[in-house]
């Protein structure tokens, strides 16, 4: 790995106007990172990365690099781009336990973080660095959220998340695992107990339905449920995956690794929506792709698909009379997720927007004063790096709010 990383670092042109930085949603200082590595300042580079992105080690593994940093690399115009993700991962991973942990005096104020996914972890770290007493409430027994329970081990080793847990404990962050706010305890209860501000980062865990006949049958599973614990499912040899995004690739590749022999991804469009890298890995793993097909009903024997085409308005529509059964032992539905509504039902001051996500203003504050939100619960299912980007802004907004309302 180290030889590969150095070779890639030497390919960097140190552009005066680095397009790679423009392509990164959080504008990682990529040329500086590479220069520092080559000059032997690896720990300094790691601290710089962590300060800009607390989840640098995670993002270096799971980001859609071909559409972001590497996709904007000037080297990629005529040849392969610099493998920026490998360089960032080498630096962040090898230095993680040695990263500086900011120690500032406690300011006497408490902040609550609901959800230990990418947004919640980012907020908790940033607020703890500012001196707040942070408690994280998580419905599951371990941190990570979608990173632990929605991304396969072969893409993101769970050990990395355990390392974050240890670091956060060293920072003085407290945890309430297996505890769901919105049941016996409400957000208002947290505010009444003295938390100056509350952050909601509960993610998007409710599967989006196809709303076709047969969706409740026993041979049907939703992607987010399957990825949560694939070991408990027996999908059989033939698996049909409905949807063609990156989550569909994760599902398809996981099914193959758990013994399914014939896994087919169906896309309603003329191309898959997953990144070229993820769909490419799926292909070499043995996943097959069938395009321009949309499901119309599910049976005990598989899924009935219909041919599709784009109309004059550019929308995908079904072609009548083309229904055909594709036999499958199991059908996996991977067409995104939406947020749960438990918190909204419990705290009536919280409102949803027209898309069914938590309504927030420009600073991330919800319709409940002092309560902020970001991540998938606000935007719908997005990427880890986007959760970090918005959470950095909201941590600053929460800090301002709590300082202005100290008394």
Residues facing residue 240 across a β-bridge: 264, 331
Whether residue 53 contacts residue 59, with contact meaning beta carbons closer than 8 Å, is answered with yes
Domain edges within the chain: 2-98, 110-205+338-404, 209-335
pLDDT confidence of residue 202: 84
pLDDT, tens only, 305-316: 999 999 888 888
pLDDT at 241: 98
**Same topology between domain 2-98 and domain 209-335:** no
- Arch. (CATH architecture) of 2-98: Orthogonal Bundle (1.10)
Question: Given this model, what pLDDT does residue 187 score?
Answer: 92
Sign, CA dihedral 365-371-374-379, equals negative
Pick among 3.40.190.10, 3.40.50.261, 3.50.50.60, 1.20.1330.10: CATH of 209-335 = 3.50.50.60
Q: Which CATH superfamily is domain 110-205+338-404 in?
A: FAD/NAD(P)-binding domain (3.50.50.60)
What pLDDT is stored for residue 1 in this prediction? 46
User: Residues near 52 by Cβ (< 8 Å), separated by ≥ 6?
Assistant: 26, 27, 28, 29
* pLDDT beneath 70, residues of the chain: 1-3, 339-347, 356, 376-377, 379-381
**Residues 207, 336: Cα–Cα separation, whole Å:** 6
Cβ 91 vs Cβ 46: under 8 Å: yes
**pLDDT (0 to 100) of residue 189:** 95
Strand, coil or helix: 241: strand
* 328-382 residue pLDDT tens: 999 999 998 776 655 655 667 788 777 767 788 888 899 899 999 887 667 665 7
């Amino acid at each position: 790995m180290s030889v590969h990383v150095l070779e890639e670092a030497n390919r960097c042109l140190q552009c005066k106007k680095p397009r790679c930085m423009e392509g990164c949603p959080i504008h990682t200082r990529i040329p500086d990172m590479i220069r520092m590595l080559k000059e032997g300042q690896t720990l300094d580079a790691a601290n710089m990365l962590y300060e800009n992105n607390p989840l640098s080690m995670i993002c270096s593994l799971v980001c859609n690099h071909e559409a972001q940093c590497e996709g904007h690399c000037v080297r990629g115009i005529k040849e392969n781009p610099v493998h920026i993700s490998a360089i960032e991962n080498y630096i962040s991973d090898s230095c993680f336990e040695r990263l500086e942990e900011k120690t500032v005096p406690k300011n006497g104020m408490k902040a609550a973080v609901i959800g230990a996914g990418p947004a919640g972890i980012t907020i908790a770290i940033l607020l703890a660095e500012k001196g707040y007493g942070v408690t994280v409430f998580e419905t599951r027994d371990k941190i990570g959220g979608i990173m632990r329970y929605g991304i396969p081990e072969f893409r993101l080793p769970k050990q990395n998340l355990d390392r974050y847990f240890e670091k956060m404990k060293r920072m003085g962050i407290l945890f309430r695992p297996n505890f769901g706010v919105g049941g016996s305890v409400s957000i208002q209860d947290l505010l009444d107990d003295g938390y100056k501000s509350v952050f909601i980062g509960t993610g998007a865990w409710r599967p989006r339905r196809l709303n076709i006949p047969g969706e409740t049958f026993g041979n049907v599973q939703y992607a987010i449920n399957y990825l949560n614990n694939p070991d408990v499912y027996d999908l059989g040899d033939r698996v049909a995956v409905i949807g063609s995004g990156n989550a569909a690739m994760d599902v398809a590749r996981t099914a193959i690794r758990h013994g399914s022999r014939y896994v087919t991804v169906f896309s309603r469009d003329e191309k898959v929506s997953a990144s070229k890298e993820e769909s490419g890995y799926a292909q070499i793993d043995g996943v097959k792709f069938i395009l321009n097909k949309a499901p119309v009903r599910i049976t005990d024997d598989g899924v009935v698909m219909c041919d599709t085409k784009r109309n004059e308005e550019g929308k995908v529509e079904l072609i009548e009379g083309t229904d055909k059964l594709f036999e499958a032992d199991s059908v996996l539905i991977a067409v995104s997720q939406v947020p749960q509504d438990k918190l909204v039902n419990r705290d009536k001051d919280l409102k949803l927007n027209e898309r069914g996500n938590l309504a927030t203003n420009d600073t991330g504050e919800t319709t409940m004063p002092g309560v902020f939100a970001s991540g998938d619960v606000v935007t719908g299912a997005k990427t880890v790096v986007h959760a970090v980007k918005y959470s950095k802004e909201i941590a600053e907004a929460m800090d301002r709010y709590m300082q202005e309302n100290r008394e």
